[in-house]
Structure 1
Amino acid sequence: MDTKTLRVLFVVDAIKGRNGVGAYFQDLVSHLEDQVERVELVQPCLVDPHPCQGGSMPIPGDPTQRLFFPKVRELSALVWEMKPHVIVIPGPGIFSMIGYWIAKKWGIPVCVTFQTDYNRLVELYWGKRLARLAGGFLNWVNRTLFQGSETAATICESMIAQARAAGARNPQLVGTPLAREFVHTPIQPLADTVSRVCYVGRLAAEKNIESFIALAQSRPDLQFEVAGDGPLRGKVEEASKRCDNLTLLGWCTREQVVALIDRSQVLVLPSSVEAFGTVALEAMARQRLVITTPACGINEWPALAQGLWIMAEGEDLPATLARLDGLSVNERRERAEQARVAACSMNQDAIAHWGGVLAHCAAMKTAPSSLPSPTLALLRRLSSHHA
């Protein structure tokens, strides 16, 4: 099917601009607007609520995040009016399951994305005993979505096997797009010396923010800035009071993040669980040096890995930063320039590949069906209760 004639609907649970998954689809849709006939994004937003967005409740284990419920009638009306060739959903989630049900009911091909290691996340937040129950439920939802979809899209090689094992048909590896601000804002030259280091992201257990705080404490000669919000904000606030060289900025807009990265020489992504690490790609696009842990999925992309500074096994952040600081000025600039080229190439390839995946998915025939009635009844009850 010709990409230019495609109508694509994204139904996303993640709040717009509040985490990596939410930002991913926000950026992807902005690029696809020039590539397809029509693209719509149904996604909760704290500032400008979507017409299909209903009530919400705090997410267990992280009160800074909220679980939103869709308005089923409004979402159904949008699908009826738009008549999309493909519905894209990241699972699991209430929005995703309702979008999946509508697609199955009307015989619309579904593309499911797999971008988060849910089993490791629930262990971090809920402990092993509760994690078994929650993980089992999430895995069941994933299997349902994978087995009923026409294709699955993942953002790193290691997740292809996981998706296939869960029943995904035709899993595809897709890249990560960048917001236009990170690509088109004029580049600020990298300073000759390393004096400022930053972290951008959620302040949560999986991000291992404690190691960034420890890095700031070990290097009083450098300035450290943290942009983000989350359940560990209090810990960062306390550390910033003790350390004169550590500043917490809180949640920042895209423009503020660009400015923060531009005035820094190094961005650190210290995550213990990270399917990809979009902020690392964003910093690369700004021609900055990026330190990642071995747990970051972005390392699995060879072209990107050459522009990263990946921690060695058993190495701590102070030692990694010291290695980076030990490079000559020219070596650091060459690495930063290489990083920008690789990031911009990833952005272009991701948009083109997504177009191909969506066109292929739209061409696949699917017959109308439905979710098991108990599951559908539960989803309807939840959505109507919180509308």
Structure 2
Amino acid sequence: MRICIFTDTIGDLNGVSRFIQDMGEQALMYDVKLHIVSSTAKFCPPLPNIHNIKPRWRMRMPFYNELDLAYPSARALEAKLLELKPDLLHISTPGPVGFTARKLAKKHGVPTMGTYHTDFPAYIRDNTGMEWAKRVTDTVMKTFYRRFEKVFTRSHEYLKIMEKDIGIPRDKSALLPPGTNLKRFHPVHRDVKIFEKYGITGDGPKVLYVGRISKEKNVPFLIQTWKRYKQLHPEDSAELILVGEGALRHKRTCNALDDVTFTGLAGF
């Protein structure tokens, strides 16, 4: 079976992008006929099964400036679809690439599945404070996913959200269990000198957060909890280290803490 994944993110530093890159790498290792199609003006992983369609124009995603919404030529996406001749089309994101791929799959009669990686309705509500915006986004998600033969997600919690908020019945949803790349996450990469690079010189415990520095990741709650803990235990030499970027990175409430270190983006 030849499978083609269409995605709006492929070279970005986020979980969806990293997950799809890993799928592409694993497909090559195990000789799986999997191709990935995206559109970005940024870095694109140089793998033979990843195909980048140059965007006609792009804009920054609201509330997520690190990510572009890229709009490729629909004709170019269609040409790539016809070239790859997939037996199954998998859509990973409800963005310009995803919506175009959905339309093309219907036009050419290609069975379609997808993955619900991000709870966009809650994301919109958390960043705008508007419950009606969530309801509107719920409707958009219902329209996007309703004709998919199967919708996968990464957590049991999202299975409940998909059924309750966007109307995907349980018989059309499935859990995609997470995995860990044991070559990438291995003690062989340990380097204690990394702390010196960021001016972390204490010998106390290190508390690590890795992810976007944003409201929907509950970073404000983490900061508040950390401040409260340090008030109750001022003698504790523990340090909080946050790896990542996001809208809250330069907020005064985050940077006013002496025992919190922001490293910015990090990857390999």
TM-score by length of 2: 0.77
1:222 equivalent in structure 2: 238
Alpha-carbon separation, structure 1, partners of 2:122 and 2:88: 30
1:146-178 CA distances to partner (integer Å, 9 max, x unpaired)? 331111112122332443451455311111233
- CA shift digits 1:337-366 (9 cap, x unpaired): xxxxxxxxxxxxxxxxxxxxxxxxxxxxxx
Q: Identify unmatched segments of 5+ residues in structure 2.
A: 45-50, 192-202
Partner of 1:176: 178
1:209 aligns with 2:255: no
Structure 1 position 87 matched with structure 2 position 103? no
1:14 maps to 9
* Aligned residue in 1 for 2:52: 51
Instruction: Identify, as 1 or 2, the structure richer in strand.
Output: 2
Give yes or no for contact 1:216–1:246 (8 Å, CA) kept in 2: no
Identity %: 23
Comparing both structures, which one devotes a greater share of its residues to helix?
1
Q: Which residue of 1 aligns with 2:99?
A: 97
Contact 2:39 / 2:97 at 8 angstroms: preserved in 1? Answer: no
Query: What do the CA deviations read for 1:284-313 (whole angstroms, capped 9, x no partner)?
Result: xxxxxxxxxxxxxxxxxxxxxxxxxxxxxx
Deviating more after overlay: 14-23 vs 220-229: 14-23
Task: Report the more deviating stretch, 199-208 or 25-34.
Answer: 25-34
For these two proteins, the number of residue pairs brought into alignment is: 242
Partner of 2:146: 147
**Alignment partner, residue 355 of structure 1:** none
What is the deviation of 1:141?
3.2
Alignment of 1:162-173 (within 5 A): 162-164=161-163, 166-168=167-169, 170-173=172-175
Q: Which AA in structure 1 matches 2:58? A: S
Instruction: Please tell me whether residue 160 in structure 1 is matched to residue 159 in structure 2.
Output: yes
- In structure 2, relative to structure 1, the CA distance for the partners of 1:183 and 1:228 (3 Å cut) is closer
- Of residues 222-231 and 172-181 in structure 1, the stretch that sits farther from structure 2 once superposed is 172-181
Residue type matched to 2:80 in 1? L
Q: Does 1:60 align with 2:76?
A: no
- RMSD, aligned α-carbons: 2.9
Distance 1:224 1:160, change over 3 A: closer
Check 1:91–1:188 CA distance in 2 against 1; reply closer, same or farther (3 A cut). Answer: closer
C-alpha displacement at 1:72, in angstroms?
A: 1.6
Q: For structure 1, which runs of at least 5 residues remain unmatched after alignment?
A: 1-5, 256-387
Q: In the aligned structure 2, how far is the partner of 1:195 from the partner of 1:184?
A: 20
Q: Which has the higher contact order (CA 8 A, sep 6+)?
A: 1
The answer (yes or no) to whether the contact 1:225–1:247 under 8 Å persists in 2 is yes
What is the CA distance between 1:183 and its match in structure 2?
Answer: 4.2
CA distance in 2, matches of 1:95, 1:185: 38
Mapped contact 2:60–2:69 kept (Cα < 8 A): yes
Shift of 1:15: 5.0
Q: What does 1:289-300 correspond to in 2, within 5 Å?
A: none
